[in-house]
Structure 1
Amino acid sequence: MKAVVCQNTKLQVVELPEPVPAKGQALVEVLRCGICGSDLHMRHHCDEFKAVVDKVGFAKVLPSSSDPVVFGHELCAEVLEYGAGCDKKLKPGTRVVAQPVLRIGNAIHLAGLSPLATGGFAERMLLQESALVPVPNGLSAEMAALTEPMAVAWHAVRRSEIQRKDVAIIIGCGPVGLALICLLKAQGVERVVASDFSAGRRALAQRCGADVLIDPREGSPYAERPGEDFIRDLPSLLELSLGTREKLGKLPVPWHIAWRLAEKLGVGAPKRPVIFECVGLPGLLQQIIDGAPLLSRVMVVGVCMQVDRYEPALAIHKEIDLRFAFGHSPLEYRDTLHMIAEGKVDCAPMITGTVGLDGVANAFDALKDPEQHAKILIDPQSAVAQL
């Protein structure tokens, strides 16, 4: 079969042996596969990534830069056949998506990020049968292939605990940022602020539902706007604290009982934005800490591959809530697919191009230009080599 192999940063279309499903595995034909930012990172930073995940016990199943690897984990496929010991609940011909996992020996490999588990930059691949999710409602292969990146964003939204009345600030409108905008608006978040240097990315953010667009060269995403009554300095926070105590002290009930009741009812708490960092460059987290209002919640979704530094004392005095998000659960993955299929979230604007296997190297280059592309899909049956 044809596949795109990456080895020592070089992308090349080659012929590989046909994959044979083992026990519990399904052989699938790839219909569409998205190019993920992690694919771009792994091409040039494979060894650094391997060193990082070695600290959480996962390095053994990841490739080194010298290993031939077939990327691709954002996929929609069609079931062809099964290995031994499978339930075979989904008949051959069924269109599926799946978390890209594969049991090999005693280890779980990530298909597309493993030297042993071929990814979706190929005509066919193997997936764990237990991970397969049937595509509902006649959803197109193109839209179904967005399930994985949208599920990453959905996991981040859930971890952020954002409420409809909160203001969301998106830093970076690449595929992750765009996916977050789509999901935040689908969840009814009333104001989404999107910040990016690229005019093209800001235009896509607007199509995905962003309410406020910011060019960082011209303004700050953290600037004061009507209706966003955030605390901007420590004296204001002290005034709110002592002033509230003084006002409650005038009530006919003990002030501490009234305070506890207000906390239980969720009223009177100071407003704060939820900031999603979707770039992953050194120094950006410090920029957010510098500019964010007090009490901000920061969700780090962009993957920074370099060692970074920030000023913890400033984050402490601003009482910044810092959280990190990675991946998704099987339930989040399934729910994301159904949100797309049921029309609850519109992520179609994210797709900006499609190529065949012969066009993958060109697509990697094209993704360097944020004015032109956000999410490029691969159709292994397509002859398109240029975007």
Structure 2
Amino acid sequence: MRAVTLHQGQLEVQDIPDLRPAKGQVLIDVTRCGICGSDLHARVHGDATADAAAEIGYDQFMRSDQRVVMGHEFTGTIAEYGPGTRKKWPTGSSVVAMPILDTGRGVHLVGLSELAPGAYAEQVLVSEALTFPVPGGLSPDVAALTEPLAVALHAVNRGDVGAKDTAVVIGCGPIGLAVILMLKAKGVRTVIASDYSVGRRELARRCGADVIVDPGAESPWSTFADSKTYLTQASSLFELAVDSMTKLRSVPLLPWNRVLETAQKLGAGPRGPVVFECVGMPGVIEHIVTSAPLLSRVVVVGVCMEPDTFRPVMAINKEIELRFALGYDPAEFHRALMLTSSGKVDPTPLVTGTVGLDGVATAFDQLGDPELHAKILVDPALA
């Protein structure tokens, strides 16, 4: 079959051996596969990522000297079942699958390991247990976005965002846009989106962001400058403490969390926004820690491949909470599929281009320009 292979940073269309499903596996005819930002990173930083993965127990992440078929955001139709499968759906049924393959000799990451070829190809192998039917009427373009939407849903869940919270999305690439979609699906009333790119700011608007900011012209944090709910100065916190203790008129030696709870009941309770770092470049975490209001909760979604620094003393002084998000669980993957099939989430603004296998190398180059594209899909049937 035809597939796009990566070797020493070079993408090339080749004929590779046909795949055969083993025990518990399903062979899928690929109809669409998204090009993910992590694929762009892996092309350049695969060895560094492999080293980090090995440190936490996975030693089969792709390396530059291997010949790897990437592609882990995909949908397709069932071509063939392997032995020991339940054959849940008829051949030809449209499905999506989590990109994790049980090979019988270990579980590997589809499209990110030499041992589990991905979906920049005419066919891909998946685990039947991690495969889900695509509801009728859902187009392949949308179904293929299930995986990145699941990443965004997991990030939003990690943020514990409530409808009354203000969410700030820094970076409006594909994952930032998907985070905006999931925040609005969750009912978050105010979503601030910040990006230097004119095109991506427009896509953020189409995805439902309430406030769009060009950080080259204004600060995404200016919304909080005069807010009584979101504190930007330590002196405001001290004043609130004194005011709250005065209004309590009881034993003054109360735990600080009780003071905050009481202040909230009085309508002056401080809380921080929930910030989603979706850039993945050095310096962004430091910018957020320095600029965000006190008590902010920061979810780091962007994958920075270089060493980075921030000032812990600033995060401590502002009591900022840092959380990091990776992937998703099966329930979140299925939930993302259901949100699109129900129409509650419309991810079509993310798709800005479609190419065949022969166009993948060019698409990788084009995705480096934020004004050209957000998400490019691969259709193996295209010439």
Provide the residue aligned with 1:115 in structure 2: 114
How far apart in 2 are the matches of 1:130 and 1:300?
A: 30
How far apart in 1 are the matches of 2:113 and 2:262?
A: 48
Residues 23 and 85 in structure 1, CA contact (< 8 A), matched pair in contact too: yes
* CA deviation string 1:263-283 (max 9, x = no partner): 499745313111100000011
2:217 maps to 1:214 = no
Q: Percent identity?
A: 51
In structure 2, relative to structure 1, the CA distance for the partners of 1:265 and 1:155 (3 Å cut) is: farther
Alignment root-mean-square deviation, CA: 2.0
- Shift in Å at residue 233 of structure 1? 1.1
Provide the residue aligned with 2:308 in structure 1: 308
Provide the residue aligned with 1:24 in structure 2: 24
- Shift in Å at residue 255 of structure 1? 8.8
Residues 172 and 196 in structure 1, CA contact (< 8 A), matched pair in contact too: yes
Provide the residue aligned with 2:165 in structure 1: 166
Write the mapping of 1:32-181 to structure 2, written as runs, cut at 5 A: 32-58=32-58, 60-181=59-180
Length-normalised TM-score, structure 1: 0.94
How far apart in 1 are the matches of 2:227 and 2:293?
A: 14
- Shift in Å at residue 64 of structure 1? 1.2
Write the mapping of 1:228-307 to structure 2, written as runs, cut at 5 A: 229-249=229-249, 260=258, 263=261, 267=265, 268=267, 269-307=269-307
2:15 maps to 1:15 = yes
Partner AA of 1:118 in structure 2? P
Provide the residue aligned with 2:381 in structure 1: 381
How far apart in 1 are the matches of 2:150 and 2:324?
A: 15
Instruction: Give 5+ residue unaligned stretches, structure 2.
Output: none
In structure 2, relative to structure 1, the CA distance for the partners of 1:53 and 1:241 (3 Å cut) is: same
How far apart in 2 are the matches of 1:315 and 1:262?
A: 19
- Shift in Å at residue 154 of structure 1? 0.1
Residues 228 and 270 in structure 2, CA contact (< 8 A), matched pair in contact too: no
In structure 2, relative to structure 1, the CA distance for the partners of 1:241 and 1:39 (3 Å cut) is: same
Number of residue pairs the alignment of both structures matches: 380
Provide the residue aligned with 2:318 in structure 1: 318
* CA deviation string 1:154-197 (max 9, x = no partner): 00001100111111111000000000111111111111111111
Partner AA of 1:65 in structure 2? S
Partner AA of 1:282 in structure 2? P
Post-superposition, which runs of at least 4 consecutive aligned residues in structure 1 deviate over 6 A? none
Residues 241 and 259 in structure 2, CA contact (< 8 A), matched pair in contact too: no
Partner AA of 1:379 in structure 2? D
Partner secondary structure for residue 237 of structure 2:
helix
Provide the residue aligned with 2:349 in structure 1: 349
Residues 248 and 255 in structure 1, CA contact (< 8 A), matched pair in contact too: no
* CA deviation string 1:105-153 (max 9, x = no partner): 3421011001011101000010001010000132111100000000000
Partner AA of 1:332 in structure 2? E
Partner secondary structure for residue 30 of structure 1:
strand
Partner AA of 1:298 in structure 2? V
How far apart in 2 are the matches of 1:277 and 1:263?
A: 28
Instruction: Give 5+ residue unaligned stretches, structure 1.
Output: none
Length-normalised TM-score, structure 2: 0.95
How far apart in 1 are the matches of 2:160 and 2:103?
A: 36
In structure 2, relative to structure 1, the CA distance for the partners of 1:254 and 1:63 (3 Å cut) is: closer
